[in-house]
Structure 1
């Protein structure tokens, strides 16, 4: 497993805009359509990454815990499906169903949204406040496949609680680590 860290987009960055197809509903959505009243979590994930598989149950628990409190939850897959067909839209819908993902799972076919977020790996997490400004980017917690640290979601949960309860969110944040996004090769 290759370990690729987050690029750590600067805090305060406005949420990038997008118009992407949701593989759960087959509708197209923008950030504006899916954002939460109190804040929005955007995650870059994919179907095949072992790092994503490791944290999927905690991601779903976080979504279920915080959507009802006004946090919008958005997952995006940006991998090159020509080289990684297991990350294609039909299999994204199946992955979402199997993992009980009751939130948008968007397909970034052009990879422009991943570039706009400066996303580097899966999973990669971005939390925006109610003004759509980035307040957290980084890891879910210290757990990784094989390191025997139990999943807790503590880093991300603390940041979301900071947004909800107007608490200070430390600027010293640990980058996420996972499989690198599978970029298309540039045309000659």
Structure 2
């Protein structure tokens, strides 16, 4: 299992715009369509990655906890489905249903959105404030498959709470670790 870290892009970066198809509703959406009143969480995942499987329950809990508080939640898969057919859009629909996604799961077929965000791995998290400025990027928490640390979502939850309660967000952030995005050749 490859261990690829996030690319830690500059805090303050404006959220790149996109227009992608949602595999849950079959509608297409832009960042502007889905952004939250108070902030927006964009994260890159895929169906087959063991790192995603390890965290998905906590990610769904976080989405459910915070979307009702004005945080937009957007999941994106950018993997090459020719060489990784288990990440195909119809299987994304199934994965979202199985994991009770109450948020869009967008398919980035061209991989342009992943490139615009400089996404490197799954899972890869990007949190933007209500001005669409990046305030957090990196890991969910210190838990990884097999390391014995329980999932808490503490790093990401702390950053979202910072937005909601106008607290400072620690700029010393740890990269996420996961499977590399499966780039087209």
Correspondence 1:165 to 2:127: no
What is the aligned partner in structure 1 of residue 140 from structure 2? 140
Q: Distance in 1 between matches of 2:35 and 2:88?
A: 24
What is the aligned partner in structure 1 of residue 46 from structure 2? 46
RMSD: 0.3
What are the residue-to-residue correspondences of 1:118-157 with 2, within 5 Å? 118-157=118-157
Which ranges in structure 2 are unaligned for 5 or more consecutive residues? none
Q: Distance in 1 between matches of 2:184 and 2:26?
A: 24
- Deviation above 3 Å: which 4+ runs of structure 1? none
Report the TM-score when normalising by structure 2.
1.00
What is the SS of the residue equivalent to 1:172?
coil
Q: Deviations over 1:116-141 (max 9, x none)?
A: 00000000000000000000000000
Q: Report how far residue 34 of structure 1 moved.
A: 0.3
What is the SS of the residue equivalent to 1:171?
coil
Q: Distance in 2 between matches of 1:126 and 1:143?
A: 18
What are the residue-to-residue correspondences of 1:26-175 with 2, within 5 Å? 26-175=26-175
Q: Report how far residue 9 of structure 1 moved.
A: 1.1
Report the TM-score when normalising by structure 1.
0.98
What is the SS of the residue equivalent to 1:40?
strand
Q: Distance in 2 between matches of 1:50 and 1:7?
A: 20
Which ranges in structure 1 are unaligned for 5 or more consecutive residues? none
Q: Distance in 1 between matches of 2:135 and 2:163?
A: 8
What is the SS of the residue equivalent to 1:159?
helix
Q: Distance in 2 between matches of 1:87 and 1:13?
A: 29
What is the aligned partner in structure 2 of residue 25 from structure 1? 25
Q: Distance in 2 between matches of 1:180 and 1:70?
A: 30
Q: Distance in 1 between matches of 2:20 and 2:5?
A: 25
Q: Distance in 1 between matches of 2:166 and 2:114?
A: 28
